A = this chain, B = another copy of it.
Amino acid sequence: MEVEATPLWKVIAAGLRADILEARYTPGAPLPSETALAERYNVSRPTVRDAVKALVLEGLITVIRGRGTFVRPVPDRYLIMLGVEPRHDIASSAYNSEGQNQGWLRWPIPDPELPEADVYGISNVLPADRETAMLMGLRTGHSVVRRYSVWFHAKVRTRIEVSSFINADLIPDFTRADLVGELDAVYRHLEKGRGPVSWADTVTARMPYENERERLEIEAGAPILLIRRIMYSRDGQVLEMTEIRGAAEHYETTSVDVSSDQDQSRSAPKSAEGGRVILAL
């Protein structure tokens, strides 16, 4: 009732945060129960819950219903390497057979209405939404061919989504079989008469929507990393946009190192990190 300068839940959150960061509660250890904390801080349980929510959002703790609240271990981040030549059509289902993606398994797409053949990869034509259109230099609603798949990695224990968008005008006579067929068939077709192609990789992050959180099994309050790769024709036309989404706490990107000198010494730091590389684009 009495109005403190700072809200009670913030005071409690600060206390718990300090306890965690200064290792009085170590990773994996349980925090006191909400009722216990309520007594200790002399507040009601809803107030404690506000503090708990704040720390969940900071990624410091995980709450497990029926069990308790636990300090989150800091997860290792695996490396996604950008700019690796030659670039492949990673949205093709044939990419699975490549050696480069060892450890990645196709994950069934959780859509009950999906035809049997598409559980591991959808390809369809749809109107571009605002954001996709902007990225591809098209008008909103322009037809694009979308290929979508979900991948799982046993080591990382999380999933990523791969979406590819191609201006439908560029591949008017492609069938579904063509799209899911041989690796790089789509790229070779796109490149014909338009090459040499160039690429731009961009990386950013945002908070997931509810459905994304569930699809990718992202913890509450954790951001997703957005990795986009755009393929340009010789004259600057967008040929393809590929987007990869995954939990930011599990991944970081790195670009291939282009030393101005031709010296191969740069392999030294790379090899040190080599064990963390889990995907090359």
Distance from A233 Cβ to chain B, minimum over Cβ atoms (Å) = 9
A257 to B226, alpha carbons, bound, how many Å? 18
User: So how many copies of this chain end up in the complex?
Assistant: 2
Chain A 79-111 near chain B by CB (<8 Å), digits 1 or 0: 100110110000000000000000000000000
Interface size class of A (residues with CB under 8 A): 35 or more
Give the dominant DSSP class at A's interface.
mixed
> A11 → chain B, closest Cβ, in Å?
11
Q: What's the nearest-Cβ distance from chain B to residue A207, in Å? A: 5
A175 at the interface (CB under 8 A from B): no
**Nearest-CB distance from A202 to chain B (Å)?**
5
Q: Contact string, A204-240, partner B, CB cutoff 8 A, digits 1/0?
A: 1111111000000000011101100010101110100
- Identify the stretch in A62-70, A149-157, A268-276 within 8 Å (CB) of chain B at 4 or more residues: A268-276
A193 contact set on B, CB distance < 8 A: none
Known A17-B210, A54-B210, A58-B209: A235·B204 in contact at CB below 8 Å: no
Given A14-B210, A223-B223, residue A269 in contact with residue B204 (CB < 8 A): no
A205-B225 CB under 8 A given contacts A198-B266, A260-B85: yes
Given contacts A221-B57, A223-B206, contact A196 B252 (CB under 8 A): no
Say yes or no: B236 contacts A269, CB within 8 Å. Answer: yes
Tell whether, in the assembled complex, residue A253 and residue B203 are in contact, meaning their CB atoms are under 8 Å apart.
yes
CA distance A17 to B202 in the complex (A): 27
Q: List 7 A-B contacts (CB under 8 A).
A: A54-B210, A79-B202, A203-B253, A203-B254, A207-B221, A232-B269, A234-B265
